[in-house]
Amino acid sequence: MQGWPAATRGQVIGLLGGSFDPAHTGHVHITRAALRRFGLDRVWWLVSPGNPLKATGPAPLDARMAQAAAVMRHPRVAITDIEARLGTRITAQTLQALQDRYPGVRFVWLMGADNLVQFHRWNDWRWIMDNVPVGILARPGDRLPARVSRAARIYKSARLPASASRALGRQEAPAWCFVDLPLNDMSSSDIRARGAWRKRDRAKIVRPVDRTVGMVND
């Protein structure tokens, strides 16, 4: 979307950061689950200029934004290039900038279980835990490793049971919650490995690379 998404005081906004290189049904699936399970008013996708821990850069931002907008169509979900606008790619900095820009709005950081496994390698990851509630969504292969990850162990006492997940956005940080959900095994790296993304003229792709997307969005 162009410009800054609207939000009003007291709203709970889930932030799903990602390379989205390309976006796929797994992203759609967890976004819809997050809206429901974490009681969110909105979800904003933060299409990243580039993951600070990945050596190789993603496809051009415009192409990833267009693909993401084609895949994720939902009245309560906005596809944004907020990090490019802010000039940030480190999540802690992005969150701090958003808190400054949207006073009174409650943000929840969303991520798949694979990211919890290596969360302790992120820049200022403890700042994130201490300042923003975190919602974790199950991902094939990563449910168990996530639960025993370093971040999960260190912040064990801040874990909210899944039965209380809808309260996550109203909790004071540190608070995190892991929810199980029907698994979706899509991944961007698989799509890239199949040549279904990078080998095309990415700037022109505006339709979903995965035909099941229509069903998921219905």
Query: Around Cβ 1, how many Cβ atoms within 10 Å?
Result: 13
Query: Tokens 């540190």 belong to which residue?
Result: 174
Instruction: Report in angstroms how near the CB of residue 158 gets to ligand ATP at its nearest.
Output: 19
Strands 77-80 and 106-112: unpaired
User: 102 in helix, strand or coil?
Assistant: coil
- Residue 91 engages ligand NCN in binding (rule: CB under 6 A): yes
Candidates 105, 101, 107, 134; CA nearest to 119 is 134
- Residue 14 engages ligand NCN in binding (rule: CB under 6 A): no
Candidates 41, 65, 48, 24; CA nearest to 185 is 24
- Residue 111 engages ligand ATP in binding (rule: CB under 6 A): yes
- Give the contacts of 207 (CB within 8 A, at least 6 positions apart): 70
89 binds, among ligand ATP, ligand NCN, none (CB under 5 to 8 A by kind): ligand NCN
Q: How far apart are alpha carbons 208 and 189 in whole angstroms?
A: 16
Q: Which stretch binds ligand ATP (CB under 6 A): 20-28, 77-85, 86-94, 154-162?
A: 20-28
Backbone angles phi, psi at 183, to 5 degrees: -80, 150
Instruction: Report in angstroms how near the CB of residue 163 gets to ligand NCN at its nearest.
Output: 27
Q: Which stretch binds ligand ATP (CB under 6 A): 14-22, 74-82, 95-103, 150-158?
A: 14-22
* Position among 114, 131, 150, 162 found at the interface with ligand ATP (CB under 6 A): 114
Output the residue with the shortest Cβ distance to ligand ATP.
112
Backbone angles phi, psi at 191, to 5 degrees: -60, -45
- Residue 17 engages ligand NCN in binding (rule: CB under 6 A): yes
Contacts with ligand NCN, residue ranges (CB under 6 A): 17-19, 46, 48, 51-54, 89-92, 115, 122-123
- Residues found near ligand ATP in the complex (CB under 6 A): 16, 18-21, 26-27, 30, 111-112, 114-115, 137, 139, 184, 186-189
